[in-house]
Amino acid sequence: MTVMEILNSKSSEVVSFFTGLDEMLDSIGQTLKNRTLHLNGEKFLTNRDVCRMLHISSRTLQDWRDNDIVPYIQIKRF
């Protein structure tokens, strides 16, 4: 098999490689989508999660935080 045959996007090796890659990316995506943040046994929600659950915009959520309507903590990522 020549290099050009290997690089042909229709070759079975290339198709198989990208099919496997797609499956891995889907699996990683599902894992990240279903993850929840836990700290000391408590479950924490992201801004996006809270906005979706309450059907509010991110601006409204920030206003509620600024006015002490909802409690929050900020977790820094390293």
More confident call, 56 vs 7: 56
Identify the sign of the CA torsion 51, 56, 58, 60: negative
Residue whose structure tokens are 């690089």: 7
Which H or E run includes 37? Answer: strand 37-39
CB atoms within 10 A of CB 44: 13
What are the structural domain ranges in the chain? Answer: 1-35, 36-78
State the average pLDDT over residues 50-76: 91
Q: Which of 5-9, 31-35, 66-70 has the lowest mean pLDDT?
A: 5-9
Which residue's structure tokens are 């990208």?
Answer: 18
Q: Which pLDDT tens digit goes with each residue over 13-56?
A: 778 888 888 888 888 777 767 666 667 777 788 899 899 999 99
